A and B are shown apart, each in its own frame.
Chain A
Amino acid sequence: MSKILMKGNEAIAEAAIRSGCRLYFAYPITPQSELIEYMAKMMPKVNGTFIQAESEVAAINMVYGAAGSGKRVMTSSSSPGISLKMEGISYIAGAELPCVIVNVQRGGPGLGDIQPAQGDYFQATKGGGHGDYRLIVLAPSSVQEFADMASEAFDLADKYRNPVMILADGMLGQMMEPVEFKPAKTDAELQELANQHLSWCICPNADGDKKHHHEINSLELDPQVLEKHVLDLYKKYAEIEKNEARYETYNVSDDNEVLCVAWGTASRVVKSAINEVMKEGKSVGLIRPIRVWPYPYDAIKQAIGKNVKKVYVFELNSGQMVEDVKIAVEGKVPVDFWGKLGGVVFTPAEIKEKLETCF
Chain B
Amino acid sequence: MEIIAKRPEALTKEPFHYCPGCMHGVAHRLIAEAIDENGLINEIAGVAPVGCGVFAYKYFNFDMAEAAHGRAPAVATGIKRARPDMHVFTYQGDGDLAAIGTAEIVHAANRGEKISVFFINNAIYGMTGGQMAPTTLPNMKTTTSPYGRNVEDIGYPIRVCELLSTLVAPYYIERVSLLTSADIIKAKKAVEKAIRYNKENRGFTFVEFISTCPTNWGYEPEKARQWAKENMLPFFKPGVFRDKGEGVE
Contacts and interface: CB of A to CB of B under 8 A. Distances in A.
A73 B61 contact: no
B43 interface: yes
B66 A58 contact: no
A279 interface: no
Nearest to A205: B42
Contacts of B83: 69, 71, 202-204
Contacts of A62: 74-75, 77-78, 81
Nearest to A201: B63
B86 interface: yes
B53 to A, nearest CB: 12
B45 A202 contact: yes
Contact of A58 (B47, B62, B71, B79): B71
A68 B66 CA distance: 10
B79 A69 contact: yes
Given A68-B78, A71-B82, A219 B54 contact: yes
Contact of A61 (B74, B80, B81): B74
B26 interface: no
A191 interface: no
A93 to B, nearest CB: 13
Contacts of A58: 71, 74, 77, 103-104, 107
B85 interface: yes
B95 to A, nearest CB: 16
B76 interface: yes
A213 B71 contact: no
Contacts, number: 135
A25 interface: yes
Nearest to B57: A215
Contacts of A61: 67-68, 71, 74-75, 78, 104
B41 interface: yes
A246 B111 CA distance: 42
Contacts of B184: none
Nearest to A57: B71
A42 interface: no
Interface string B216-237: 0000000000000000000000
Given A205-B41, A205-B62, A216-B64, A53 B79 contact: no
Contact of A68 (B12, B41, B65): B65
B71 A88 contact: yes
A102 B6 CA distance: 50
B41 A202 contact: no
A57 B77 CA distance: 13
Nearest to A48: B81
Nearest to A210: B42
Contact of B43 (A91, A204, A219): A204
B40 to A, nearest CB: 10
Interface residues of B, number: 35
B85 A211 contact: no
A139 interface: no
A63 interface: yes
Contacts of B77: 25, 51, 58, 62, 65
B81 A213 contact: no
B71 to A, nearest CB: 4
A66 interface: yes
A51 B111 CA distance: 10
A202 B106 CA distance: 25
Nearest to A24: B81
B78 A73 contact: yes
A126 interface: no
A202 B83 CA distance: 9
A54 interface: yes
A61 to B, nearest CB: 4
Contacts of B57: 215, 217
Contacts of A87: 68
A55 interface: yes
A49 B80 CA distance: 11
Contacts of B74: 53, 57-59, 61-62, 64-65
A311 interface: no
19 contacts: A51-B81, A54-B103, A58-B77, A62-B81, A64-B75, A65-B74, A65-B77, A65-B81, A65-B82, A71-B83, A73-B82, A202-B83, A202-B86, A204-B83, A205-B62, A211-B42, A211-B62, A216-B65, A219-B54
Given A49-B82, A51-B77, A219-B54, 11 more contacts: A62-B74, A65-B47, A65-B65, A65-B76, A68-B79, A203-B83, A213-B12, A214-B64, A215-B58, A215-B65, A217-B66
Interface of B: 12, 41-43, 45, 47, 54, 57-58, 61-68, 71, 74-83, 85-86, 103-104, 106-107, 111
Interface of A: 23, 25, 49, 51, 53-55, 57-59, 61-71, 73, 87-88, 91, 95, 201-206, 208, 211-219
**Which 9 A-B pairs rank lowest in CB-CB distance, beginning with the nearest?**
A65-B78, A61-B74, A69-B82, A205-B42, A54-B107, A62-B78, A216-B65, A66-B78, A61-B71
